[in-house]
């Protein structure tokens, strides 16, 4: 009888241990570093930023350099006070316009970046839902740099499964 009780307690303990909540963890940095979809989105974001910087150079940096060069020429001429004043005012107006343009571009880039993050999180969430149903998970956590998950083991890591789903769905 005693052997039966030991067996029953062991069986009950293992049943309790296996019936606890099932958890999955997604390594967000791994998704960002390895997912072709995410890498493509990051590349598109970099191109967007680069094109904005090029526009800013063409419309602001280069023209301001030319105005500055003209102003330096005029500073050596004592008879060009009116022209100096005019060039200085033009420089100030261009500079002010460039500050506004840079601010608008930064806002646009922020919106593009925010849309990327939103799309990324939607893709991760959708993939996590599919994997959670497939594996019968009760909870899926995101492991981010400054998130609440400090460490997770390979038994709960579902990152590769989520990446596959993200990269195969449109």
* The pair of three-digit structure tokens given for residue 70, joined into one six-digit string: 């003209």
Range of the domain at 29: 20-168
With respect to residue 6, please indicate whether it lies within any of the assigned structural domains.
no
pLDDT band at 139 (very low <50, low <70, confident <90, very high): very high
With respect to residue 111, please indicate whether it lies within any of the assigned structural domains.
yes
How do residues 68-127 score in pLDDT, each as one tens digit?
Answer: 998 888 887 777 788 888 888 999 999 999 999 999 999 999 999 999 999 999 999 999
Q: What is the pTM of this model?
A: 0.71
- Count of structural domains, the chain: 1
94 with 60: CB under 8 angstroms? yes
With respect to residue 48, please indicate whether it lies within any of the assigned structural domains.
yes
123 with 107: CB under 8 angstroms? no
Angle 81-135/62-75 helices, nearest 10 degrees?
160
Contacts of 38 (CB under 8 A, 6+ apart): 31, 32, 120, 166
Cα separation values, 80 from 65, 72, 77, 132, Å: 20, 12, 6, 76
Q: Contacts for 116-123 with beta carbons within 8 Å, 24 or more apart?
A: 116/41, 116/42, 116/45, 119/41, 120/31, 120/32, 120/38, 120/41, 123/37, 123/166, 123/169
With respect to residue 12, please indicate whether it lies within any of the assigned structural domains.
no
Domain containing 40 — which CATH number?
3.30.910.20
With respect to residue 41, please indicate whether it lies within any of the assigned structural domains.
yes
With respect to residue 125, please indicate whether it lies within any of the assigned structural domains.
yes
* The pair of three-digit structure tokens given for residue 69, joined into one six-digit string: 């060069």
How do residues 24-38 score in pLDDT, each as one tens digit?
Answer: 999 999 999 999 999
């Amino acid at each position: 009888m005693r052997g039966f009780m030991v067996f029953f307690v062991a069986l009950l303990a293992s049943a309790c241990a296996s019936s606890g909540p099932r958890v999955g963890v997604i390594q967000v940095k791994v998704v960002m570093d390895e997912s072709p979809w995410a890498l493509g989105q990051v590349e598109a974001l970099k191109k967007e930023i680069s094109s904005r910087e090029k526009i800013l150079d063409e419309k602001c940096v280069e023209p301001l350099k030319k105005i500055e060069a003209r102003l330096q020429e005029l500073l050596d001429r004592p008879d060009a006070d009116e022209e100096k004043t005019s060039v200085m005012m033009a420089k100030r107006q261009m500079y002010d316009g460039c500050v506004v343009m840079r601010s608008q571009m930064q806002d646009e880039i922020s919106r593009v970046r925010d849309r990327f993050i939103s799309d990324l999180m939607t893709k991760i969430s959708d993939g996590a839902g599919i994997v959670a149903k497939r594996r019968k998970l009760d909870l899926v956590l995101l492991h981010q740099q400054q998130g609440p998950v400090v460490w997770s083991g390979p038994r709960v890591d579902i990152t590769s499964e989520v990446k596959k789903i993200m990269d195969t769905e449109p």
